[in-house]
Amino acid sequence: MQEQIKKIDNLEELQALYTATFGKNGTMTARLKQMKDLDNDARAALNRENTELRELFKSRQTEIENDVMMAALKGEMLDPSLNPMPENRGTIHPLTQALYELSSILESFGFTVWTGPEVEDDWHNFTALNTPKHHPARDMQDSFFLENGNVMRTQTSAIQIRAMEKVGVPIKVFAIGSTYRKELDATHTCMFGQMEGLYVDKNITMVDLIGTLRALLSRFFNRDIEIRIRPSYFPFTEPSIEFDMKWDNGKWLELGGAGMVHPNVLKNCNIDPNEYQGFAFGFGWDRMAMLKYGLDDLRKFYDGDVRWLKNSGF
């Protein structure tokens, strides 16, 4: 029996043998029942056998349980010879990357970064920008209004006003941020990124504007960029232009709007237009990122799809 117990290597079998020995109809149970017929020595021997067997079962049970646990642990054991898990490092989002690059270029030109709220009041988003209520130019931008009359910022131009109100002149600032309009297709999303530059001082001219735009684009795209300007209309600039840049394939790409800050805008910020003048420009920050990194769907910028970012080289 002892040998038999030692050979058993699983709990079910051990339990079966235990029951066959000590159970109601077990062999040991039967023998114990006959104990009264035995002499003293034989009784003592049976008692000893009984105790020893029970202990043997018990210790074999512990051994088997330990073996089972060790086998399970072994399966989970750390194997330092295995290859490491593939690394999934985070990267900088193309929009953030473009923001860093544009900011550092403009800072090197002496511009200071500004920000403003994304929920704007009517004054900063429209009225101070020479676009009072009922001005037809408000139709150029499909705006999201809030019930209290505020608006989701439709243009970073609102930040020009905030900056001029706060620091006055001379001023040389730029802002990059999200803007909102009711538009949606492959090149438009309801939320999109804009950037804005503003330089007001004595004797600032259109030449400064064009030179700044050209230098900014050339630095950003790391080559000499040719630009073209076309007359346009914005309520907050006079004269107003739109500017295009020549792309690799020889085509002109529309980039943004600019002009000399309208005297009314300066007056709205308590700046004397007879003494000061300046330029402002605005264009798509996300569009710049698309062009530079060769991405074709603006909506993807805001999807948070890591696979797309990785496939796009980020």
Binding site for ligand DAH (CB under 6 A): 155, 157, 196, 234, 237, 256-259, 280-282
Q: Which is nearer to ligand DAH, 155 or 277 (CB)?
A: 155
Beta carbon of residue 306, minimum distance to ligand DAH (angstroms, whole number):
31
Question: What angle is formed at CA 236 by the lines to CA 233 and CA 242, rounded to 5 degrees?
Answer: 40
d(CA 137, CA 236): 10
- 279 Cβ partners below 8 Å, 6+ apart? 197, 198, 199, 204, 205, 206, 208, 209, 212, 237, 258, 259, 260, 261
Q: Which is nearer to ligand DAH, 220 or 281 (CB)?
A: 281
Beta carbon of residue 202, minimum distance to ligand DAH (angstroms, whole number):
19
133 φ/ψ angles, rounded to the nearest 5 degrees: -55, 145
- Which contacts qualify for 166-172: CB closer than 8 Å, 24 or more apart? 168/269, 168/270, 168/271, 169/200, 169/201, 169/271, 169/276, 169/278, 170/200, 170/201, 170/202, 170/276, 171/198, 171/199, 171/200, 171/201, 171/278, 172/110, 172/111, 172/112, 172/198, 172/199, 172/200, 172/201
Q: Which is nearer to ligand DAH, 111 or 281 (CB)?
A: 281
How far are the Cα atoms of 135, 139, 192, 223, 252 from residue 182, in angstroms, in the given order?
Answer: 19, 12, 11, 35, 26
Beta carbon of residue 192, minimum distance to ligand DAH (angstroms, whole number):
10
* DSSP SS3 for 176: strand
Beta carbon of residue 311, minimum distance to ligand DAH (angstroms, whole number):
31
Beta carbon of residue 165, minimum distance to ligand DAH (angstroms, whole number):
16
Beta carbon of residue 281, minimum distance to ligand DAH (angstroms, whole number):
5
Q: Which is nearer to ligand DAH, 98 or 280 (CB)?
A: 280
Q: Which is nearer to ligand DAH, 60 or 287 (CB)?
A: 287
Beta carbon of residue 255, minimum distance to ligand DAH (angstroms, whole number):
10
Q: Which is nearer to ligand DAH, 31 or 135 (CB)?
A: 135
Q: Which is nearer to ligand DAH, 95 or 161 (CB)?
A: 161
